Amino acid sequence: MTAITIWKRRLGAGAAGALFSLSPAHAEGAAEFLTGANGLAAGSAIVLALLGSLTFAILTSARLSGSSLFNRLFIVVATTSAFFSAVSSAIGFSLITSQETDDFFRNAILPPAFGVFVFFLGIAIWIGGAELVRHRDWFRGLGNGPVATVLHFAERSLKIFVIIPILSLILFVVSTWTTVVGIAGVDAVRMTYSSELDRLQSECAAIVAWRQKDFAVLEDLKISVRTTSDAAARERDSGFQTGSAGRGAVAAYIEGVASWYRAVEESVDKALTADDPSGLSPFTPHICATQSAKLRELLAANAFANYDAWASAYETEFNDFIVVLNRWRQDRRIESLLRSQLDSFERANPKPIGRMTAAQSRAINVYADQVTETLAKLLKAQKDNDPARVIDSAGELSPERGLEIIFFQIRQLSQDPDEVSQKPQKRKSNRPIPSLSEVTPRDAVLKHAQVFSDVWALGIAWDYASYVLMLAFLFFPSAERAAGRKDD
């Protein structure tokens, strides 16, 4: 008999039908109820009810009848701090070990199992450690005299200042570290990626402004084409260069140059208006703002459902746009077109051969020189028009990862401020735009430890608050016993 069948019999047909026959709309409504403000309220209610019940059970437990209120509250603090550490550590562990693929054991089983491990580890170290500190292990046969009290104090000091800190190092590595990653890891990654997005937006704006200068070349070319066409018409109508009106050798040559020049203008115009393989164009209004808004929307998405999927989606979109920007930055089609046309000018516009007067020959040579000079100026303007220098990425400015981050920060603390400011590395001005500086949550919280110092303080505080309370058992051994039993 299945569990569903049992529930149907217990609930009755009507209730069971309503429970197990939810329509997609009702199921979606139930899912929405458990998210947002309703989900927050439900989660808060569950946590408060659980901790309230736990606190009541500890304070009223018959097994602690001889314990003082301080000792009972110490157990409450140790238990709740272990619970907080377990939840936040499970979140941090899921960020560290999550997979983009649907790996059930790695994504769904490991994090909560790790949280349970952290919970019992905290209980063992603080509550079990307090038990270890309170009871004598050495010198039991000395009674309760002054010498025995001193020796007992020395034993407790050794336990609480040596044994317990050694045990708590395990808790720091296992719990405090993953707690900080769980609370601040995603925010630290978002901080890095947000600065990288600002870099991308600046690069995009610079490239778009640089590519707008192609239209200035096109406008100069259009003016030159109109001038050439006008010169051909004036030569044909009035013979302003040779003094002989009509369609002579000079007029035919200038008209040929004008026709060729118009073809160059059309080629440049088509190159500028052609569709980009990416579907984007540097000449689209607000292209940088549009792409940045899309990336910011991805950055603000829920990263905790599946961190690797979230990071992969952002990194892919970011790097794809970097590829587009690099293609725009390296686009020299106009320059190549002008160079090829300048090189082929003599072949495309051959000077007429035959009987010509000196005035006609001189007019043709002068006009050819003017056209080539104009093209050479446009080509030089394109060659000299370089994009802005590439901005260094976060990975280039701070390439350390893992333990190298800690060693680098230690070296910075030991160095003088003047020595810390290193000379910037020389990089090629024509290098491509760097891709996204990928960073993991565990590296991000180390790199930005000064920004998330309050999270570090919070994680250490709730992991080690029990240790501070435990000091009372060293100086006041009777703190564990209830009133009336202090001398037992």
Query: How far apart (Å, rounded) are the C-alpha atoms in residues 268 and 158?
Result: 84
pTM: 0.71
Q: How far is CA 179 from CA 127, 464, 466, in A?
A: 20, 13, 17
Both tokens assigned to 121: 């580890």
- Beta-carbon-side half-sphere exposure of residue 164 (alpha carbons within 13 Å): 29
Give 113-127 as a 3 state SS string.
HHHHHHHHHHHHHHH
What's phi and psi for 402, nearest 5 deg?
65, -135
Beta bridge partners of 67: 481
Pure H helices in 300-357 = 307-329, 333-343, 345-348
Indicate the domain borders of the chain.
1-33, 38-185+457-480, 187-445
Q: Which of 40, 126, 129 is nearest to 80 (CA)?
A: 126
Query: How far apart (Å, rounded) are the C-alpha atoms in residues 74 and 53?
Result: 16
User: pLDDT (tens digit, 9 = 90+) per residue, 147-165?
Assistant: 777 887 788 888 888 888 8
Using the structure block, give the residue that is written with the tokens 């994090």.
111
Sign of CA dihedral 218, 220, 223, 229: negative
User: pLDDT (tens digit, 9 = 90+) per residue, 329-355?
Assistant: 887 777 777 788 777 777 777 777 666
Both tokens assigned to 213: 């200068």
Q: How far is CA 187 from CA 148, 292, 447, 453, in A?
A: 54, 19, 12, 13
Using the structure block, give the residue that is written with the tokens 């400015």.
397
Cβ of 485: how many Cβ atoms within 10 Å? 13
| Residue stretches of the chain with pLDDT short of 70 | 1-44, 47, 59, 61-67, 140-145, 231-232, 235-248, 353-356, 415-430, 474, 477-488
User: pLDDT (tens digit, 9 = 90+) per residue, 377-431?
Assistant: 877 777 777 777 888 888 888 887 877 777 777 777 776 655 545 555 666 656 8
Contact 367, 254 (CB under 8 A): yes
Using the structure block, give the residue that is written with the tokens 């208006």.
273
